Structure 1
Amino acid sequence: MDWNVIAQYLPLYKKAAWLTLRLGLAGIVIAIVVGLVCALVQYYKVPVLRRIVGAYIELSRNTPLLVQLFFIYYGLPKIAIKTSAEICGIAGLAFLGGSYMAEAFRSGLESIEPIQTESAMSLGMDHAQTMRYIILPQAMSISVPAFVANVIFLLKETSVFSAISLMDLMFTAKDLIGLYYKTTECLFLLVVFYLLILLPVSLLGSWLERRLRYAGFGA
């Protein structure tokens, strides 16, 4: 292990980690919004839209992110829809993540007993108030373990961004290995930086899950 080489490569990995984190978080935020909308469509059994959402979830969950990225980056320009590599990465991650988030949120929503909705309606709440104050807080707390697992999964999936020439952590590691053959040092830095990104998310998720359980939700 050559520590001088590690010190030399460190700035490159910092830059790559920032790009990985920035694109990953952008894709995850959009995936959360998409997933919540899809979960609500399924929960309320909206005609037609429910079938469209079901088809989207099956398509997204049963195709690799790499294939989705290739379709967006290389396929869409054939029909005059051109995107940058960064937008492609965010869109691909959001497309994949939206389906996983939708299933996590749907399971949380469907775990709430119907009597709670009936009780809220009998107290004079409308559907929007019932969802906002009664259903969603409980459903979100129940969905926390699956939600955190999905966030970690999506952050790890950013490793395929290198396939569309994004200078993420994986691209940087492969590029340096190919140029200088410092395999051990490059892989060591790759592992360290992924741990720096993913470990805090995992610990935060565990803490949040415990807090919600102690508060009486998700038991």
Structure 2
Amino acid sequence: MFIKNAIPTFAKALWLTLHLSFFGIIFSILLGFLIAIVQYYKIRFLNTLTQSYIELSRNTPLLIQLFFLYYGLPQIGLKLDSYTCALIGVTFLGGSYMAESFRAGLESVGKIQIESGRSLGLSERQLVFFIILPQSLMVSLPYIGANVIFLLKETSVVSAIALVDVLFVAKDLIGNYYKTSETLFLLVLCYLIVLLPLSILFLLLERHYKRYLG
């Protein structure tokens, strides 16, 4: 009976988690790709700036970043709601991981292939879209998939800034009803419902992409 009654509450919290994760991951991919392009083409000033960002992002926990956004920024007059702080935090953390994934893919493309493309008269845009990106994506895809799953799991810490995600609901139900086993079962089930299909999807995409390019 408890599990049946708790399912709607978990479903609502799971929707918020998915909403946050979806936009956080999309923004992370866009940010990471732009940073990888800057580093690949070694744009002098921006390259130093992006490398500093990556080091800061990867070497500070998401929880600390969220505390800074939610509790620190109001001290200088900038107050953001919980969802906005969580979205910025996930994007800030995810962008650095995605950047490294894209960079690894871009650097895997052989210089000979690029020079061959130039000798055939391809423009820089054509080189990017027809030679560099298709091959780099095959290398980056497994890392991107791992990062997506990592970011989804990392969203569990947003409950620390009073955002009602699945972990927040789980802690609330345990505190109110002392149904620890049942609540943890629903919590694990929520993450399995989301993460298992994603893992399978990225595995299938990777196999398809290798077969397509191979």
Q: Distance in 2 between matches of 1:194 and 1:14?
A: 11
The answer for the alignment partner of 1:64 in structure 2 is 61
Q: Does 1:80 align with 2:77?
A: yes
Equivalent positions of 1:133-148 (< 5 A) are: 133-148=130-145
Give the partner amino acid of 2:58: R
1:169 Cα deviation from its structure 2 partner: 0.4
Q: Which runs of 5+ in 1 are unaligned?
A: none
Mapped to 2, the partners of 1:120 and 1:87 lie a distance apart of 44
Please point out which of 78, 93, 97 is paired with 1:100: 97
Q: Which residue of 204, 207, 214 corresponds with 1:207? A: 204
* Other-structure match for 1:198: 195
Question: Partner amino acid for 1:210?
Answer: R
Q: Give how far 1:141 is off.
A: 1.7
Q: In the alignment, which residue of structure 2 is the partner of 1:90?
A: 87
Q: How many residues align?
A: 214
Q: TM-score, normalised by structure 2?
A: 0.98
Question: 1:216 deviation in Å?
Answer: 2.7
| 2:78 aligned counterpart, secondary structure | coil
Query: Which of 40, 44, 56 is the equivalent residue of 1:43?
Result: 40
Deviation readout 1:31-50 (Å, 9 max, x if unpaired): 00000000011100110110
Identity within the alignment, %:
55
Q: Which residue of 1 aligns with 2:7?
A: 10
Measure how far apart 1:7 and its partner are.
0.1
Cα separation, 1, equivalents of 2:183 and 2:15: 17
Q: Given residue 179 of structure 1, which amino acid in structure 2 is its aligned partner?
A: N
SS in 2 for 1:112: coil
- Among candidates 119, 129, 137, match of residue 122 of structure 1: 119
TM-aligned CA deviation for residue 193 of structure 1: 0.5
After the TM superposition, which of the residue ranges 82-91 and 150-159 deviates more from structure 2?
82-91
CA distance in 2, matches of 1:33, 1:171: 29
- Residues 1:170 and 2:171 aligned together: no
Q: Tell me, in whole angstroms, the C-alpha distance in 1 between the residues paired with 2:122 and 2:84.
A: 41
Gaps of 5+ in 2: none
Partner of 1:21: 18
Q: CA RMSD in A?
A: 0.8
After the TM superposition, which of the residue ranges 33-42 and 74-83 deviates more from structure 2? 74-83
